[in-house]
Amino acid sequence: MDTTIRESKLSERLSNAIRQTAPGTALRTALDMIIAGNLGALICIGDTDNVLAAGNDGFKLDISFTANRLFELSKMDGAIVVDKDLTQILRANYHLNPDPSLPTSETGMRHRTAARMSLLTRAIVISVSERRQVITLYVDGRGHQIRPVSELMSSVNQLLVSMQNTRQQLDRSLLRLTTLELDNYVTLEDVADTLYLFEVLMTEAEGLDRLILQLGVEGRTVRMQRDEFIGDMDDKYTLMIRDYAADSSEQSAQAIRRALHDTNNTKLRSASRIATLLGYEGKSEDSTITPLGLRTLSNVSVVRRGMADKIVDEYGSLSGLMDDIEQNPARLDNLGLDNPSILADSLYRMWGKRA
């Protein structure tokens, strides 16, 4: 299997596992009770046939899953086996014997067993350390430590402050860029600086998404704050890339966004690196670039969705529109634009040339 596809599937499985153990779930309630009771536990969820084949003894239960039952059963040694839907507890005090040759970097016996069981089967395996009071879940041999809500919220607050600062910088940068676009004097350095801020904001949002996933029901307010900071910046990011890329298609813009995201943020400070990603060669940071104007036009209320592309197709660029907007307003009428005069007034107001 292609490495990228395999990593994507693994990431999806891990996200699902984190979601199942997030605050607000019965499983998380049981895990918190186990920690509070100073107990340890080894829990296997799903792929039960293969899990049972890797062990023996224990008690056959086949009882309904509840948080209290899982907590009480954790007082016994051995593993607890639960079905994939978390509806039935199948075994308790089950002795697992995974292949000892399976690789793991874990040191404790319970954690080594959990890591190897997750390699041997497709089960989600959870290990609770009695001594260290740490909960770790394993998927395909990879461990993920489940952090307390208080610790997660500390990281959330730091990230929200960072996102607020980045958004303020980005707003200022975009206002300046709009003026430069209407002046038709945008340099590669201007584009690079703004794209850098866009990517920093999106990277911070991605980090916050990971924390929100781990917070479960405790992350609802954080999700609202995250959405407020992002707003329509996701669309504006794509439109700006289309404005300045050699290939302005939507498909190309998405590919460039992926390339920007895969590039270390410190390297995005390089104007030449940005030029290469946008499809240009031989441009210096002082080189001027003429934007299509899709982002700026999208800020005008009378420009309906999809209309900006028609305007750009007709005029070629924002500067072409500005040059012709007063001399030949009928061209805008022909495009089906409502109230062309409002478009002209809005653009000039952005430009600061007309009250």
Instruction: Give yes or no for a contact between 12 and 210, defined as CB atoms under 8 angstroms apart.
Output: no
* Residues 11 and 133 placed together within one structural domain of the fold: yes
* Residues 155 and 142 placed together within one structural domain of the fold: no
Instruction: Give yes or no for a contact between 146 and 136, defined as CB atoms under 8 angstroms apart.
Output: yes
The reported pLDDT for the residue numbered 132 is 87
- pTM for the predicted model, two decimal places: 0.86
Q: pLDDT tens for residues 237-283?
A: 999 999 999 999 999 999 999 999 998 878 888 888 999 999 998 88
* Residues 266 and 160 placed together within one structural domain of the fold: yes
pLDDT at 297 > cutoff 50: yes
Better pLDDT: 19 or 325: 19
The reported pLDDT for the residue numbered 329 is 63
Strands (E), the chain: 41-45, 55-56, 59-64, 79-82, 88-96, 124-128, 135-139, 142-146
pLDDT at 325 > cutoff 80: no
Q: pLDDT tens for residues 228-243?
A: 999 999 999 999 999 9
pLDDT at 294 > cutoff 70: yes
pLDDT at 354 > cutoff 60: no
pLDDT at 337 > cutoff 70: no
Is residue 288 a part of any domain in this protein? no
pLDDT at 355 > cutoff 50: no
What average pLDDT does range 209-230 have in this prediction?
Answer: 95
Better pLDDT: 75 or 327: 75
Torsion region of 45: left, alpha or beta (phi above 0 gives left; psi -120 to 50 gives alpha)? beta
pLDDT at 339 > cutoff 70: no
The reported pLDDT for the residue numbered 92 is 96
107, 122, 146 — which closes off a domain?
146
Q: pLDDT tens for residues 9-25?
A: 888 999 999 999 999 99
Task: Count structural domains, the chain.
Answer: 3
pLDDT at 149 > cutoff 90: yes
Is residue 289 a part of any domain in this protein? no
CATH number for position 139? 3.40.1700.10
**In the Cβ-directed half-sphere of 346, how many Cα atoms lie within 13 Å?**
13
| Domain assignment of residue 323, given as a range | 294-351
pLDDT at 316 > cutoff 90: no
